[in-house]
Amino acid sequence: MEEKIVEADGETGAEDALVGNVNKLMVTPPGYSGAPRKGHLVFDACFESGNLGRVDYINDFEFDLFIRPDTCNPRFRVWFNFTVENVRETQRVIFNIVNFSKTKSLYRDGMSPVVKSTSRPKWQRLPPKNVYYYRCPDHRRNYVMSFAFCFDREDDVFQFAYCYPYTYSRLQHYLASLERKNLPYVQREQLGLSVQQRRLDLLTITNSV
């Protein structure tokens, strides 16, 4: 596993310049020059439906996270999905998603992010009491969602997401399984391809009787 080690000082780079997802990004304290240690968190979002463009180190327990905007709408920033590894057992952290674009969010009404890990592959919601959504003057008055988490297994890779991910590949597998059943009341047609050369499907569903 190739890891990229950076020192995050909280001011480097511009939020608007996020052009790609972090890729096995190890975040160390400013000025640290020793060997990587357990607890120097490694962030990754280079996978399907992943989104995390930048990580700023605040202290050993707190990190500011910047999400990338939607591909066709640079002003819309909501979705996040990333993994964290190289954790210490019982390591407690606060993650701040600092550049949400929405003024209203279900996070204000009790919704919470989801998490899973390699040894517990089923998505679970974080306790709502550990999640806070607020407007922050320190981040251009953007809306911030902060959540606290305690890592409990050092060998696990933990994954956090805005909500349950449903990827394009998963959808295509499902549609292909429907086609293989040859159901008389379901017809799948390809209308064309997207800008990124992905299928645009038309489903026609009629009465099964």
pLDDT one-digit tens code per residue, 117-170: 999 999 999 999 999 998 888 877 778 999 999 999 999 999 999 999 999 999
Mean pLDDT value across residues 64-77: 88
Once rounded to an integer, what is the mean pLDDT over residues 103-112? 88
Is residue 10 left, alpha or beta, with left meaning phi > 0 and alpha meaning psi from -120 to 50?
left
| Tokens describing residue 199 | 């299928």
Structure tokens at 12: 């480097």
Q: What are phi and psi of 193, to 5 degrees?
A: -125, 150
CA atoms 29, 34, 36, 39: torsion sign = negative
Tell me the backbone φ, ψ of residue 83, rounded to 5 degrees: -115, 155
Task: Find all residues with CB under 8 Å of 71, minimum gap 6, and list them.
Answer: none
The amino acid sitting at 201 is: D
Comparing 50-54, 67-71, 118-122, the range with the smallest average pLDDT is 67-71
- Residue 78: CB partners within 8 Å, gap ≥ 6? 67, 100, 101, 102, 162
Residue in the structure block whose two tokens are 């607890």: 39
Say which residue the tokens 């047609």 belong to. Answer: 189
In the chain, where does the domain assigned CATH 2.60.40.3120 lie? Answer: 25-161
CATH topology of domain 25-161: Immunoglobulin-like (2.60.40)
Q: How far apart are CA 81 and CA 4, in angstroms?
A: 19
Smallest CA-to-CA distance from 20 within 52, 44, 49 is with: 52
What is the pLDDT at residue 124? 97
Percent of the chain past pLDDT 90, that is, above it, reads 71
